[in-house]
Structure 1
């Protein structure tokens, strides 16, 4: 499953401030839906006890990125693919007796896959969160888990979960894609006038919204400040940040996506600011 974020669209100018609050999917998928069996998968991977190889590329679909386990056949990274494994490892010993669907295992994967993704792509936390590049994590099958398999696999994908219209192909070498000034092909925009209905698209395509900044709301050991405080701080920051980004116009529209207590517990400390712009 995805932890739901809340997206808010604001209109500023001569009219009173108007807010439209809706539910939106989390920009960085943290958990997964029940496993889906791929009839064309690699039988050697289906119930593998051994950890999968690092650096492997696969042609995953949006649906496959939401499964808890995956055995899609590995392809040459020079050929079309939408996912690449950037982190693999054994779960800490504390999870040796954990349940298959343990929330604590999911939280560990969230923190690990997020931090390793930032290192792999080469951008900072804000740039990574504002990109169309997402991640999915996979664990062994239940059969392999019962045999003692305790590995995790993090895949970078050309799209950040359900908010993306579709997965986009990755280049042969995905490492370092967000270093320096990232290409608009990898940054997150939205094409629909109503922000609440907008699927994410690359900013290299026609768009009406762009993710322009993020705000860090706390440190990793800080307690959750509460929904009201998170939204208020996010809204205030994003209004000023987006206005500055747009060069201080009298009238402008902005939006923001903030995340609740479950996401905070998993390790997320940022909200995202969006500007209404076709640039």
Structure 2
């Protein structure tokens, strides 16, 4: 499962057949099977690796489906309602240097898919990495099921999705290439960060606050909150002042990453201003 993240083998056993009555005896007196007793091998059906995804395909995924590792939904025409578009398809590196084969659900395989998909999303949307932080767009990735991987499937699929509200995906346009500057993608909130009513939503929905800047937070471990607040204050204050009608009277709020977000790779805080 993502934050929005059994090999089966069939063995065909042939049953040996004994000589049926009526066979002939050779000169040594042993019975040789007649032609009618020769077993007919059953026809073997090759395992099905399933279809390989293609760039430009669209899917109508639920929030839960987008958070899964394996997607079993069929593509839909992009002119119809959809919530995900495939922008890259790659090949998993399943063979190790020592000659072993990785599982598609191994940490190494999933890390390869995650890294490839996230690094390509900004280019697909036409955004800088820092700009992407202030949007509701996310990269999600899928790999074949273990059964299909056993049959030879070795692809991974990168889709773009956008969160409209908690556990709800935004309906996408027919094509998302270069779509990063769409106002509906901008990150907003229903209330100030840290308050009970705070919910992150698309700016296309009702909102009271808007994300305007981010501040990098360095270190191997998540710093204590006072240290993060001090690190973010000047950047957030300047961002709020530049957007205020009165440069002497303005408000802002700072959102620090949680421990869960930090462990998932979010190493920055977000500056918010009233909408």
Q: TM-score scaled by structure 1?
A: 0.70
Give the 5 Å matches for 1:1-279.
1-2=1-2, 29=4, 31=5, 48-94=49-95, 97-159=101-163, 164-178=166-180, 182-193=181-192, 195=194, 197-217=197-217, 225-228=220-223, 234-247=228-241, 249=248, 252-258=251-257, 268=265, 270-278=267-275
| 5+ long unaligned stretches in structure 2 | 6-47, 242-246
CA distance in structure 2 between the aligned counterparts of 1:135 and 1:232, rounded to whole angstroms: 32
Cα distance, 1:205–1:237 mapped onto 2, change above 3 Å:
farther
CA distance in structure 1 between the aligned counterparts of 2:266 and 2:214, rounded to whole angstroms: 10
Deviations 1:142-198 (A, max 9, x none): 2112223221111101228xx7351111111101012xxx23211111113454553
- The aligned residue for residue 23 of structure 1 is none
| Offset, 1:75 | 1.4
Whether the aligned pair in 2 keeps the contact of 1:190 and 1:210 (CA below 8 Å) is yes
User: Aligned residue pairs: how many?
Assistant: 224
Structure with bigger RCO (C-alpha 8 Å, 6+ apart):
1
Whether the aligned pair in 2 keeps the contact of 1:216 and 1:269 (CA below 8 Å) is no
SS for the counterpart of 2:117 is helix
Whether the aligned pair in 1 keeps the contact of 2:193 and 2:254 (CA below 8 Å) is no
CA RMSD for the aligned pairs?
2.8
CA distance in structure 2 between the aligned counterparts of 1:189 and 1:111, rounded to whole angstroms: 26
Greater percentage in strand: 1
| 5+ long unaligned stretches in structure 1 | 4-28, 32-46, 219-223
Whether the aligned pair in 1 keeps the contact of 2:134 and 2:186 (CA below 8 Å) is yes
CA distance in structure 1 between the aligned counterparts of 2:260 and 2:61, rounded to whole angstroms: 30
Whether the aligned pair in 2 keeps the contact of 1:52 and 1:88 (CA below 8 Å) is yes
- The aligned residue for residue 6 of structure 1 is none
- The aligned residue for residue 21 of structure 1 is none
SS for the counterpart of 1:171 is coil
Deviations 1:218-273 (A, max 9, x none): 6xxxxx522227x6664334322221111155663412242659966x7x464131
| Offset, 1:201 | 1.4
Whether the aligned pair in 2 keeps the contact of 1:135 and 1:155 (CA below 8 Å) is yes
SS for the counterpart of 1:86 is strand
CA distance in structure 1 between the aligned counterparts of 2:144 and 2:208, rounded to whole angstroms: 41
Q: Which has the larger radius of gyration?
A: 2
Whether the aligned pair in 2 keeps the contact of 1:256 and 1:271 (CA below 8 Å) is no
CA distance in structure 2 between the aligned counterparts of 1:269 and 1:166, rounded to whole angstroms: 21
